[in-house]
A = this chain, B = another copy of it.
Amino acid sequence: MFIQIEPNSAIPIYEQVTRQIIEGIARGDMQPGDTLPSVRSLAADLGVNMHTVNKSYHELEAKGIISIRAKSGAVICSTEERALTPEQLRQIEKNLKPVVAEGMVLGATAEQIEHMMKKVFADLQIPVEGV
């Protein structure tokens, strides 16, 4: 799989897994309907504990991105299933705020931040291995 863990990061392992799966879906590496690897196999792949991956999967489910079918597997939700609610929009804005504020205080211009945002957006939209 495409996930790379940084053991010494300040970001918890389960959070790294969550983010990289989200980025993988955004990039198109994984599509709606696809099944995620079992918590045991992914944990073995990454060299971490089963429960750590399990926590990540449940975080993804709480975000409405995957659906965990008990004793079967985890499936990526369709775009219809994960319709953007006003609550989710507010949350994204809430997440965006401290990042933008810090950038500005450090001396970045609005244009620089918009440019970085577009760069990130493009990174995620353009598949690494071609379509």
Interface of A with B (CB < 8 Å)? 19, 22-23, 25-26, 63-65, 79, 82-84, 88-89, 92-93, 95-108, 110-114, 116-117, 119-121, 123-124, 126-129
Given known A-B contacts A117-B113, A119-B93, A106 and B65 have beta carbons under 8 A apart: yes
A122 to B22, CA, bound (A): 28
Smallest CB gap from A83: residue in B = B107
Q: Which 3 A-B pairs have the closest CB atoms?
A: A84-B107, A26-B101, A95-B99
In whole angstroms, how far apart are the Cα atoms of A23 and B100 in the complex?
9
A109 and B126 alpha carbons, distance in the complex (Å): 9
Number of copies of this protein chain within its complex: 2
- Choose among B26, B103, B112, B121 the residue that contacts A105 (Cβ–Cβ < 8 A): B26
Contact A121 B113 (CB under 8 A): yes
Beta-carbon contact of B96 and A99 below 8 Å: yes
Q: Which of B83, B84, B100, B112 contacts A89 (CB 8 A)?
A: B112
Q: Is the CB–CB distance between B95 and A117 below 8 Å?
A: no
State the CA gap A86–B99 with chains docked (Å).
16
Q: CA A11 – CA B63 in complex, angstroms?
A: 17
How many angstroms between the C-alpha atoms of A96 and B121 in the bound complex?
10
